[in-house]
Each structure stands twice: as structure tokens, then as C-alpha cells.
Amino acid sequence: MENGEIPENANEHCPGPQSESAGKSDACQGCPNQEVCATAPKGPDPDLVAIAERMATVKHKILVLSGKGGVGKSTFSAQLSFALAAKDFQVGLLDIDICGPSIPKMLGLEGQDIHQSNLGWSPVYVESNLGVMSIGFMLPNPDEAVIWRGPRKNGLIKQFLKDVYWGELDFLVVDAPPGTSDEHISIVQFLQATGIDGAIIVTMPQQVSLIDVRKEVSFCKKVGVPVLGVVENMSGLCQPLKDFKFLKMMENGEHTDLTEKVIEYMREKAPEMLDLIAASEVFDSSGGGAAKMCTEMGVPFLGKVPLDPQLCKAAEEGKSCFAEQKCLTSAPALKNIVEKLMTNYWREEMSVEQ
């Protein structure tokens, strides 16, 4: 009975669940939904008005989704936010992964608390132009499990949207949990009237991930959220050759570390090899990967981000991968994706930036 729709099992001449006579008219007698309709609140949700007022100062709203957990969605959300903030945009990052909030860790904000003012909840700031909100700031113990049913999760998401004072924002990045569950339906329902730019969907190249991403694309189409594009994350291991370890494996499964000898040999015999980037396909992409799926489903492909140990380290340390020029393979890939998004969807913001 969402959005005031008449249930399929309703009596003939049903007045509708939003009607003042719902559950009370003669047509309702004997209907299996009579008691629910009679006691349900009528009319539009007043909180949606409060959400619309809050979101009126946010220019662009971006959902970051994934069909499956563990694909690097939160890492991408964090680095996208860092990248936009580095362009001097005002950026907010909202973490609605209620049961697995990893954004505080990835932004270097563990142990921070939420503060309240007469304007509402204040985000926790990484920089003056990058604010973050997450349930992770509200847990007394970071190891404590959040064991909530759907209604309570939805209530917190609504509270984040109507009570957090972001001020003027150019971009609000929403990091959602994997899948297509209550949180996704709620965030779309709460934000749809205020305008959602669209969703960025993060996947890995193998079919076991793409199967679920197809469902995510289908979800977006059903609820009317544009798909801004798909990012293929962990698209092959890429790092400088000199950063690898070289091992000699024994028959008993043990190994001997020959790294120092190999590096010294290359330094003497072929020093140019120390400047090479080594790449290896970790996950099977023989099915064509995300690019092929995007072609089949008619959605944009934004690009590939390699599995870069330095990016993993930046996420662990809560740092931007663009800051210290250590992420030699992942930072350029992420930068290209951000530039593609800016060119395709926010060209007017680029002119302001310039």
C-alpha cells in the first residue's frame, strides 16, 4: 500500500488507503486491510516537507550503489568526495550504510562525535569544504553491531536528511549499502521530490559481481533514478614492479624471499625495469566485464580502477589518494572518471570552477 496505492486484495469500490473514510466506509466491511487502513496516518508525510527545505541548498545529489558488498563502493565514495572537494566544491558525504558504516574510517574521522546547534546536527568536517555524516559517529563502541529492522533504519535515514545542517552544498554524495533493500527505497522516496542527479554503480569485473549489478541497474530504472554510469573497480592488480615481493616456492608449501636479490639483479642488469608497472588479472573478466554489461543494458560505462595496494593503504589511513602522488595507477583512473562525470553531467559547474 505504498504511496497510497489500492491493495490488490481490496474490496470493490475501495476508497483508497489515504482517504479519510479508509477502513470506515461500507465498502471496507470485511476487507482484510480494514484495520490497517483505519489506523494508518493520512495525507502526505510532513517530514518530506522538512527534507525538501534542507535539500533546497544542495545543488547535486549523487547515490553511490553496488549490487554486492566488498566491491569498493565506500572507497569510491570517499575518493569521489575528496576529488570534488579538491576542486573547491562544497561537498557533503552521507553514509547510510547503517549496519556497516566504514566512511568514518575512510575519511580519517574515527572517534569523532556529532554536535548539535540550533540549526540541527552538524556534520563532521575533514576540510572546511568536506563534511561527513554517518551512524558511525553515534556508536559508543565501534565494535558494536547495529541490529535494526527496516523501520528503524528508515527513521534514521529520514533524520539524517531533515536534521543535518549542511549549509550550501555543490554536491551531496550518498554512500548506500549493497543491494536493493529498505535503505535504497527510503533514500529514493525521501529525495525524489527534491531531485536526484542519479546513481553511480560500482562493480568488479567478474560475472558473480555483474549478476547483482544488473539488478541494481534494473532497480534504478524502476524507481526512476538515472544511472550516471558504472565503475569497474579492482580491474586487475597494478603496481610498480619494484613494489612486488619475489618468492621461491618449495614443495612443502613454504617459500624463500628472494626480493632483495631480484631487485639488486634488475638494478645491475636492467635498471629500466624498475620503472615499469606490473599488471595481473586477479578477477576473471573473460565475459567482457562491466563495459560489455553497460552496452547490453544501455547505461554509461565510466571506466576501470585497478586494484592498487596504495589506494587500499590510503583508505585504511583515511587519506585522499590524490594528495601524496603515491597511488600511481589508481589516482589517474579515478581522476579520469571524475572528469568524465563533470563533462557529461555538471559542465556548468566546470565553468564556475575555471
**From the annotation, which residues make up the binding site for [4Fe-4S] cluster?**
14, 28, 31, 37
Distance in angstroms (rounded) separating the CA atoms of residues 334 and 305 = 6
Cα–Cα distance, 276 to 227 (Å, whole number): 36
Alpha carbons within 13 A on the beta-carbon side of 143: 0
CA dihedral sign of residues 318, 187, 198, 66: positive
- Residue 178: partners with Cβ closer than 8 Å, 6 or more residues away: 65, 66, 67, 68, 69, 70, 71, 73, 212
Cell 558473480 belongs to residue: 208
CA distance 229 to 302: 5
The count of residues in the chain is 354
Nearest to 114 by CA among 144, 130, 141, 136: 136
Residues that constitute the known binding site: 14, 28, 31, 37, 67-74
For 196-243, the DSSP string reads: --EEEEEE-SSHHHHHHHHHHHHHHHHHT--EEEEEEEEEEEEEEGGG
CB 135 within 8 A of CB 69: no
Q: Residue positions in the annotated binding site for ATP?
A: 67-74
217 Cβ contact partners less than 8 Å away, ≥ 6 residues apart: 201, 227, 230, 297, 299
- Please tell me the distance from the alpha carbon of residue 81 to that of residue 85, in angstroms, as a whole number: 6
CB 83 within 8 Å of CB 335: yes
Contacts of 30 (CB under 8 A, 6+ apart): 11
Burial of 19 (0-12, 13-18, 19+ CB in 10 A): middle
Tell me how crowded residue 199 is: count the other CB atoms within 10 A of its CB.
25
